[in-house]
Amino acid sequence: MSTESNTFSRKLTIQLLELHRTRRGGIVRAERGKVKKQLVVRDGLLAFAESNAPEEHLARVLVSIDLLERKALAGIGALMKERKTSDEAILAATKLGLHDLEKGAREQALMILSSLMEWDSGDLRTYASEQLARRQYDLAMPLPELLVAAARRAASKRPMPSAFSPLTGTIAPAMENRNDLLILPLDGDEALAFSCIESPVKVESLLPLLTAESAKPEDLVLRLLLLGLIKKESPAPEPAPESTASEGSGELDQHLDEMLRRFASANAYQILGIPPGADGSRVKDAYHSLAKKYHPDRFQSKEHSAELRTKAENLFTLVTGAYARLEDEASRTAYDKELLRKGSSTESSPRESSGGKLDSENSAEAAFQAGRGLYAKGEFDQAAEKLRECVWLKPEVARYRYYLGAAQAENPKTRKDAEQNLLKAIELDHAHSDSYLALGRLYLKVGMARRAEAQFHLALRWNPQNVEAERLLGKMSTDKEGSRG
């Protein structure tokens, strides 16, 4: 199976992170045809970036962010012909100060790095140099943060790099240089997406699981691909010939079983994969996306069994039922009240009305304190009951989700719910390192060592003094060495 783990953007990320890790200086130079770009690094931080692409010249970047009028470009160009640097020419020909110049240079650096991540190929080299060129400023931009920001910008553009287009088939974690890449400061949505790709997974199965307000599921996956945290394997096969139809049907049959199992205990918001506050257009988009995948008309050919067609029809009935509850404001309000009355163990009441809000908050906090007390005594099942109540009343409070997930993790029967609540806690507060720690412990309990390791690294990223995460990583490393011996 061919892979795309060695992409241009991944090479670029690794080279820059190596300079960051060793706190060295150097020039990372990229060339493709006549286009030349370079990133100048000093003491492990980006000092500035340069490019011979006209739209990435500093003066034009200043125009693009409305700090400079376009008519000033002619005067700046004339001064540069007199051997002035771009910095000197801009300062001499305009009323801009050094602060404005630095602001433009930061945007220029992000623009250049983002454009490099879109390259499918090119010559990439790093030159060590003790005598780095100096400018009017030194941006001192942290490279991990800059790389993530550049990946976000590049992922939002279309078309995507051909190495990742189309975004179909199977993706998998990239193990080469894994520890170096784990220092990248992902946000909660990105970290959640990364934690869902601990083993090879089909894109079409993954995307429905990634619901986020901040980005499209496709963009989250593309960001991880551009940073080299995951890799794209061979694309999904074309429609199988008759001789292999039964094998493809078997895989599809398993997928439909999994979706039916998941939807059986889900509410309408979960089925459509949208947050409770989603507006009407997002409800429609989510429904149409699922309808394209699971409409029964797609499974009418002879290669699909009658049993499989029945499963598709049942699944589509659940999807259309969820849409019917949420498409109309009146029916949605009635459904929200129904959820408030019944409650839900993993995803709760959607849109709380303003009336009785204070009572709800007080009740939730009282349930939380009671549950936390039971948790401290080791009475985890009783604690989970109380904590489930406060999550139902106030679903968007991260610490409620965290303690509920931690309590549920102690009971093998509720560990799936525990995972969902801990992931939700991370989504709500991605800087809370104990949520990553608890999720890592859960994965250790069920034998998912690589997932556990990733969560412990994330815990240390947000709190380098997290002693327990460091201890568990050390123990895992010792256990690995012992097994090799």
Q: Among positive and negative, which fits the CA dihedral 147, 150, 155, 159?
A: negative
Q: In this structure, are 110 and 167 located in the same domain?
A: no
Compute the Cα dihedral for 124, 129, 133, 136 and give only its sign: positive
Task: Say if residue 106 is in the same domain as residue 194.
Answer: no
363-386 pLDDT per residue, tens: 677 778 888 888 888 889 888 888
Does 189 map to a domain?
A: yes
Domain final position from 208, 232, 256: 232
CB neighbours (10 Å) of residue 297?
Answer: 9
- Read out DSSP for 55-83? GGSHHHHHHHTTSS-GGGHHHHHHHHHTT
In a domain, 457, yes or no: no
86 plus 24 within the same structural domain: yes
The stretches of 241-299 forming alpha helices (DSSP H) are 245-264, 268-272, 280-294
Question: Lowest mean pLDDT: which of 74-78, 314-318, 399-403, 412-416?
Answer: 314-318
Rounded CA gap, 138 and 47, in Å? 5
How does residue 152 score in pLDDT terms, banded at 50, 70 and 90?
A: very high
Is the pLDDT at 431 greater than 90? The verdict is no
97, part of any domain = yes
Q: In what order do the strands lie in the sheet with 201-202?
A: 201-202, 170-173, 230-232
| Same-domain pairing of 105 and 221 | no
Question: Of the candidates 215, 232, 249, which is a domain's last residue?
Answer: 232
Q: Do the domain assignments include residue 358?
A: no
- Among 213, 232, 251, the domain-final residue is 232
Residue 153 has pLDDT above 80, yes or no: yes
Is 76 in the same domain as 186? no
Q: Cβ atoms within 10 A of the Cβ of 291, count?
A: 15
227 inside domain: yes
DSSP 51: E
Read off the tokens for 187: 């946000």
What span, in angstroms and rounded, lies between the C-alpha atoms of 118 and 184?
A: 19
Q: Domain containing 124: what range?
A: 8-142
Which three-class secondary structure state does DSSP give residue 139?
A: coil
In percent, the amount of the chain with pLDDT more than 70 equals 87
283-319 pLDDT per residue, tens: 888 888 888 788 777 777 777 787 888 888 888 878 8
Q: Is 168 found in the same domain as 102?
A: no
| Domain match, 124 and 89 both | yes
Q: Are strands 230-232 and 170-173 parallel, antiparallel or unpaired?
A: antiparallel
Greater pLDDT, 152 or 478:
152
| pLDDT at residue 253, as a whole number | 77
> In terms of domains, do 63 and 137 share one?
yes
Q: Does residue 178 sit in the same domain as residue 71?
A: no
> Is the same domain home to 103 and 17?
yes
In this prediction the pTM is 0.51
List CB contacts of 361: < 8 A, sequence separation 6 or more. 393, 394
**Average pLDDT over every residue of 392-400:** 83
Looking at the structure, do residues 65 and 191 belong to the same domain, yes or no? no
> 459, 436 in Cβ contact below 8 A?
yes
Q: In this structure, what token pair is assigned to residue 376?
A: 């401290």
Q: 172-225: per-residue pLDDT in tens?
A: 888 777 777 888 888 877 887 887 787 788 888 888 777 666 788 889 999 999
Residue 93 domain-assigned (yes or no): yes
How far apart, in whole angstroms, are the C-alpha atoms of residue 407 and residue 382? 9
Average pLDDT, the chain: 81
Sort 282 into a burial class: Cβ within 10 Å, 0-12 / 13-18 / 19+. middle
State whether 172 and 119 are in the same domain: no
Report the alpha-carbon distance of residue 70 to residue 60 in Å, rounded.
Answer: 8
Classify residue 470: in a domain, yes or no: no
Query: How many domains in the chain?
Result: 2
Would residue 223 count as lying in a domain? yes
In terms of C-beta distances under 8 Å and separation of at least 24 residues, what long-range contacts does 408-412 make, across chains too?
Answer: 408/380, 408/384, 409/438, 409/441, 409/442, 409/445, 410/380, 411/380, 411/381, 411/384
